[in-house]
């Protein structure tokens, strides 16, 4: 702003005031506003130099000019403050826009998980058997040799022990190779009549491939009562399979040998992966072994303190892992324990 060349007078003050107000109104930034303030209101600014000249005015002019000068000063200070407030308001508005939060968005954090396919099948099997009056029992994964073998009519050196490659632990204990020891534990704990299932993890020292794992899941089932026959066994197994596969599946029964049942059977189902065409899961045979079963051997009843003259029963061992594979069309058992979320999220 040019310094006044003429002696200060009312119209110069008026002009300075108008110029300054216009500049304040059109200032785009805080810096531009500050420049106006320094030039006009600052210690060496236009108003200050006007004040210095006041002394040279005639007294009657001086009073009038002084009033005008003070009024102009106050007016400009107010205008500056207001303009500054506008800038600050705008800056706040921009910040609020940038930092805006949608409080209705779902909270970030871990995604909800899902149940493992084997767990899903296990729960279905449990629900079904609970509705049929069975108890759901648990047994230890670290077992005694007695419960895993001897009490199931598999004495030492019996060739059947070689059928199940066993992980032996210190002190003669082992990782259970099947859920059948829970048959024994069930009879030890509860007197007949008894209906029980025992889902759980079992372990075998096996070569791993598309259909074999060293760790997998079975469900043991057992019913001890008077006059139990193979017809009862078939009824419960068909009810189970119809429920799990939600339709009739093709099954076949073959003789099977297990020391703890007599007679013993293998129940196979037509492979649901390939519909009997042959694939790695059914080892190209079109059939999958699903349920070994039979009537409980009298020796097993006797060893657990149940009189075989009065009681008999059936037992089955269901491959829960294999059942999950059939149900969900999983063609490689190794996926189940891979921990791969791309696989697990599908369930």
Ramachandran sector of residue 339 (left: φ over 0; alpha: ψ -120 to 50; beta: rest): left
Task: Please select the residue that binds ligand PHE; options are 149, 203, 258, 311, rule is CB under 6 A.
Answer: 258
Task: Please select the residue that binds ligand PHE; options are 293, 301, 320, 323, rule is CB under 6 A.
Answer: 293
181 touches ligand PHE by CB under 6 A: no
In the complex, least distance from residue 264 CB atom to ligand PHE, rounded to whole angstroms = 6
**Three-class DSSP category at 123:** helix
Residue 271 buriedness (CB in 10 A; 0-12 / 13-18 / 19+):
buried
Going by C-alpha positions, the residue among 208, 220, 135, 210 that lies closest to residue 177 is 220
Task: Please select the residue that binds ligand PHE; options are 294, 303, 312, 333, rule is CB under 6 A.
Answer: 294
261 touches ligand PHE by CB under 6 A: yes
Stretch that binds ligand PHE, among 55-63, 106-114, 275-283, 310-318 (CB under 6 A): 310-318
Helix 117-131 crosses helix 320-328 at what angle (to 10 degrees)?
A: 110
| Nearest CB to ligand PHE, comparing residues 53 and 262 | 262
Q: Token pair for residue 65?
A: 């000019």
Q: Which residue lies nearest ligand PHE, judged by its C-beta?
A: 317
Alpha-carbon distance values, 26 to 14, 19, 266 (Å): 19, 11, 94
Helix 46-53 crosses helix 10-26 at what angle (to 10 degrees)?
A: 170
Q: Token pair for residue 162?
A: 């070689």
Task: Please select the residue that binds ligand PHE; options are 40, 121, 281, 315, rule is CB under 6 A.
Answer: 315
Sign of the dihedral through C-alpha 155, 157, 163, 169 = positive
Q: Cα separation of 269 and 91, whole Å?
A: 73
199 touches ligand PHE by CB under 6 A: no
Q: Which residue has the tokens 């210690």?
A: 43
Q: Which residue has the tokens 């059936």?
A: 314
174 touches ligand PHE by CB under 6 A: no
Beta bridge partners of 91: none
Task: Please select the residue that binds ligand PHE; options are 122, 184, 316, 330, rule is CB under 6 A.
Answer: 316
In the complex, least distance from residue 183 CB atom to ligand PHE, rounded to whole angstroms = 7
In the complex, least distance from residue 127 CB atom to ligand PHE, rounded to whole angstroms = 21
322 touches ligand PHE by CB under 6 A: no
| Nearest CB to ligand PHE, comparing residues 27 and 166 | 166
180 touches ligand PHE by CB under 6 A: yes
Q: Token pair for residue 73?
A: 């000063």
Cis, peptide link before residue 193, omega less than 30° from 0: yes
Q: Token pair for residue 100?
A: 């805006």
203 touches ligand PHE by CB under 6 A: no
Task: Please select the residue that binds ligand PHE; options are 23, 178, 195, 322, rule is CB under 6 A.
Answer: 178
118 touches ligand PHE by CB under 6 A: no
Q: Cα separation of 346 and 344, whole Å?
A: 5
| Nearest CB to ligand PHE, comparing residues 8 and 174 | 174
| Nearest CB to ligand PHE, comparing residues 186 and 294 | 294
User: Is the distance from CB of 83 to CB of 33 less than 8 angstroms?
Assistant: yes
292 touches ligand PHE by CB under 6 A: yes
| Nearest CB to ligand PHE, comparing residues 36 and 269 | 269
Task: Please select the residue that binds ligand PHE; options are 45, 199, 259, 317, rule is CB under 6 A.
Answer: 317
- The binding site for ligand PHE (CB under 6 A) comprises 178, 180, 258, 261, 292-294, 315-317
């Amino acid at each position: 702003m040019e310094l006044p060349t003429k002696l200060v007078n009312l119209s110069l003050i008026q002009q300075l005031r108008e110029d300054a107000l216009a500049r304040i109104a059109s200032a785009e930034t805080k810096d531009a506003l500050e420049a106006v303030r320094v030039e006009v209101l600052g210690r060496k600014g236009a108003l200050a130099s006007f004040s210095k000249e006041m002394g040279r005015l005639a007294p009657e002019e001086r009073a009038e000019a002084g009033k005008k000068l003070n009024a102009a000063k106050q007016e400009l200070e107010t205008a500056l403050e207001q303009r500054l407030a506008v800038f600050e308001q705008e800056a706040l508005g921009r910040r609020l826009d940038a930092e805006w939060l949608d409080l209705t968005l779902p909270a970030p954090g871990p995604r909800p998980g899902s149940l493992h396919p084997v767990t899903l099948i296990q729960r279905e099997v449990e629900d079904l058997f609970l509705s049929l009056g069975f108890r759901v029992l648990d047994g230890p994964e670290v077992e005694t040799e007695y419960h895993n073998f001897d009490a199931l009519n598999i004495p030492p050196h019996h060739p059947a022990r070689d059928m199940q490659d066993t992980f032996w632990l210190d002190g003669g204990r082992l990782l259970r190779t099947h859920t059948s020891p829970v048959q024994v534990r069930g009879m030890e704990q509860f007197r007949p009549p008894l209906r029980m299932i025992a889902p759980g993890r079992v372990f075998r020292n096996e070569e791993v491939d598309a259909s074999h794992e060293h760790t997998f899941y079975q469900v043991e089932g057992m019913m001890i009562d008077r006059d139990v026959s193979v017809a009862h066994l078939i009824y419960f197994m068909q009810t189970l399979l119809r429920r799990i596969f939600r339709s009739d599946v093709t099954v076949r029964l073959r003789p099977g040998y297990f020391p703890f049942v007599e007679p013993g059977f293998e129940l196979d189902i037509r492979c649901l992966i390939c519909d009997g065409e042959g694939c790695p899961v059914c080892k190209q045979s079109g059939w999958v072994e699903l349920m070994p079963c039979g009537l409980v051997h009298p020796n097993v009843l006797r060893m657990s303190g149940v009189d075989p003259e009065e009681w008999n029963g059936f037992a089955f061992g269901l491959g829960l892992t294999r059942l999950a594979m059939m149900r969900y069309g999983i063609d490689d058992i190794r996926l189940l324990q891979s921990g791969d979320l791309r696989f697990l999220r599908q369930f």
